[in-house]
Amino acid sequence: MLTRRIIPCLDVRDGRVVKGVQFRNHEDVGGILELARRYRERGADELVFYDITASPEGRQVDRSWVNRVAEVLDIPFCVAGGIRSVADAEEVLNLGADKISINSPALADPDLINRLSRRFGAQCVVIGIDSMAGDGDWQVYQYTGDPDRSQAAQRRTLDWVREVQARGAGEIVLNCMNSDGVRQGYDIEQLARVRDVCQVPLIASGGAGSEAHFLDVFEQAHVDGALAASVFHKGLIDIIELKRWLGARGVHIRQVGGTEHG
Amino acid sequence: MTTPGPVALVDSGGANIASLKFALARLGRESVFTQDPAVIRSASHVIIPGVGAAANAMERLHAAELDGLVPGLTQPVLGICLGMQLLCAGSDEDDARCLGILPGQARRFTQTAELPVPQMGWNSLAIRQAHPLLEGIDSGEYVYFVHSYALPVGSDTLATADYGGDFSAIIARDNFHGMQFHPERSGAVGERLLRNFLTLESPCN
């Protein structure tokens, strides 16, 4: 049986891992390779690296770190941020990333999803969606990496979830902006509604603060994976412990430490 | 004792072979991504990585005249993910006819809200037959899958996994082997499987 995934997200800026509160006030939490190795050792199922400055500032990024990560990691990882074209995606995949994730560029040019999926296969193409409650519904936001440019994308979240699947997305990461960074739990109501219309893997993002929050999102929103950053970076939750705790409560999850070979 | 030459990684198109090259390097083996028949024939071990679509990959193998060469190889050959499906008779993906070295037709998973497609993530192996490739590997250990098509269980199946039903996770017949998951992305278990493959005896050593 397929296991639920625990996915630390490392926001990368200028070669360092940072974390902000609701996308603001970023603080430095460590080096990329050091954290990548640590999370692999602690049983992360995969990692997401998100270059938070790339997309809003419209600049080319130095992606050599992707190759160094691929060299040390033997678990899958995804790269997000600054990927605007098939050529950008090809560069990142050739450097050794398993998947690429796009967000604002897909809103600006939805056909990019079709082109990426045709070229590399749906399994490489992850669509990130920043979503927030508004007008009695959930709305998609774009350019959320920059508080000055962050704006509603004039799309209903559920409509966009359907559209990206039809265009060839292989996985969706739903970042619930209302709950991001405040550690009060995932947005179960929104994730459960998105799950109803999502037939590709769905990853929850935003709000993890305790072990119980992971149990809630797996049991109540039936997501395939749960992504979190600050609780892991700050050492508030240890992934091996979290997985044992979830496993004891009936969540099917890959345990490490007991079954892995040395 | 002579140092083995590079492992041949057969170029059937697609990006993303860096992770496989790095995984082999961690095991002390160089590798070369190639369509050169001489390089492939003389390699001690040959791997067919697979990313992308079956029909496209078969066209690339055909254009390089490798569809005739691969079935005649005598050293250990390993198809990974799509590469495993290429070793078999065919795939429902674009009705592709594959190399036909092993029997079996890759079928698409039935997509439901409970079973998203692609299957993406860690699933456990159930071992059906002992084999040197599985040395040190137990049923219940996890490996990383990313795929929408899978091969049914048959007499060449060494291990299965369950995704709405059992499918072939590892197959072998003679010197041909296949893994539906990505050993290079499957942590310590995947590393052991790759090491086992590289220690299979080769007439080209």
Condensed to tens digits (0 to 9), the pLDDT of residues A80-130 reads 988 999 999 999 999 999 999 999 999 999 999 999 998 888 889 999 999
Model confidence pLDDT, tens digit, residues B49-103: 977 788 889 999 999 999 999 999 999 999 999 999 999 999 998 899 999 999 9
Establish if A259 belongs to a structural domain. no
Check if B42 contacts A (Cβ < 8 Å).
no
From residue A84, alpha-carbon distances to A57, A103, A168, B79 in Å are 13, 9, 16, 32
Query: In this structure, which CATH number among 3.40.50.880, 1.10.287.3510, 2.40.50.70, 3.30.413.10 belongs to the domain B7-199?
Result: 3.40.50.880
| A91 domain-assigned | yes
Question: Does A1 sit within 8 Å of B162, measured CB to CB?
Answer: yes
Q: Answer whether residue A255 is part of any domain.
A: no
Largest Cα–Cα separation, chain A:
53
A63 vs B126: which has the higher pLDDT: B126
Asked if pLDDT for residue A62 goes beyond 90, the answer is no
Those residues with Cβ within 8 angstroms of residue A143's Cβ, 6 or more apart along the chain or in another chain: A55, A56, A104, A149, A150, A151
Domain CATH code at residue A152: 3.20.20.70
Q: Is the pLDDT of residue A53 over 80?
A: no
Question: pLDDT category, A55, cuts 50, 70, 90?
Answer: very low
Cβ contact A45–B184 (<8 Å)? no
Average pLDDT, chain A: 89
Nearest chain A alpha carbon to B111? A199
Q: Which residues of B are catalytic?
A: 81, 182, 184
Indicate whether A141 belongs to any domain: yes
Q: ipTM of this predicted complex?
A: 0.90
pLDDT value at B162 more than 80: yes
Contact (Cβ atoms closer than 8 angstroms) between residue B158 and residue B129: yes
Please report the pLDDT score of residue A27 as a whole number. 63
Checking if the pLDDT of A207 tops 50, the result is: yes
Say if A261 falls within a structural domain: no
Confidence of residue A262 (pLDDT cuts 50, 70, 90): very low
The total of other beta-carbon atoms located within 10 Å of residue B36's CB is 14
Alpha carbon distance A22, A29 (integer Å): 16
On whether any CB of chain A is under 8 Å from the CB of B184, the answer is: yes
Question: Which amino acid would we find at residue B165?
Answer: G
Between these two residues, A74 and B12, which has the higher pLDDT value? A74
Number of independent structural domains in chain A: 1
| pLDDT classification of A26: cutoffs 50, 70, 90 | low
Structural domain containing residue A88:
5-248
* Rounded Cα gap, residues A246 and A253, in angstroms: 8
How far is residue A40's CA from residue A72's CA, in Å, rounded to a whole number? Answer: 10
DSSP type of residue B37: H
Amino acid identity, position A186: Y
Beta bridge partners of A99: A78
Pick the range with the lowest mean pLDDT from A51-65, A206-220, B86-100.
A51-65
Q: Please report the pLDDT score of residue A11 as a whole number.
A: 86
Rounded to an integer, the average pLDDT of B175-183 is: 97
A77, A86, A87: which is closest to A50 by C-alpha?
A77
Asked if the bond preceding B118 is cis, omega within 30° of 0, the reply is yes
Using the beta-carbon criterion (under 8 Å), do B123 and A1 form an inter-chain contact?
Answer: yes
pLDDT of B2 higher than 80: no
Give the pLDDT confidence score for residue A24 in this predicted structure: 54
Q: What is the mean pLDDT of residues A142-169?
A: 90
Q: Is the pLDDT assigned to residue B183 strictly greater than 90?
A: yes
The DSSP string of chain A is: -BPBEEEEEEEEETTEEEEEETTEEEEEEEEHHHHHHHHHHTT-S-EEEEETTHHHHT-----HHHHHHHHH--S-EEEESS--SHHHHHHHHHTT-SEEEESHHHHH-THHHHHHHHHH-GGGEEEEEEEEEETTEEEEEE-TTSTTT-EEEEEEHHHHHHHHHHTT-SEEEEEETTTTTS-S---HHHHHHHHHT--S-EEEES---SHHHHHHHHHHS--SEEEESHHHHTTSS-HHHHHHHHHHTT--B---SSSS--
Per residue in A192-202, pLDDT (tens digit) is: 999 999 999 99
